[in-house]
Amino acid sequence: MTVSYMRAPSTEHIFEVGETVEVFCDHEKNKDRVRGWIKGIVVQVDNKMVAVQFRSNVFLTDGWMVPDKILWYPLTSEHLRPLGSGRKAGRKEILEY
C-alpha cells in the first residue's frame, strides 16, 4: 500500500526569519491608503506560508478595512519577493518597514 503526502510547494527563494522582503499590498502612506510595494521583515516561515511584519499599517485585501501589522503569504505568492529582486524600470518607492 502506498501513501501519498502533500509536498510543500517548490519556490524560487527560501525565505528565512529575519530576512527583509518586499510585499505588494494595501498600506498606509501619509495617512492615505495606497497599493504598492512595501518593505517588511519575515517573522515566521512554515512549509506553505510566510508571515511578514511591518511598521506601518497594512491591509489584507481591498475589502478588509481593519489595519494590521502582519500579513501571511503563500511561499509561491507573486506579491512577495526578496528585497532588491524587483525590476528597476518599473520599481516604485519602497517604504521602510
The tens place of each residue's pLDDT in the chain, 97 residues long, gives 565 555 555 556 789 999 999 999 888 888 888 889 999 999 999 999 999 999 988 887 666 666 778 999 999 999 999 987 655 444 455 555 4
Whose CA is closest to 57, among 37, 29, 82? 29
pTM, to two decimals? 0.71
- Lookup: cell for 57: 499599517
Q: Helix, strand, or coil here: 7?
A: coil
Q: What is the DSSP letter of 18?
A: T
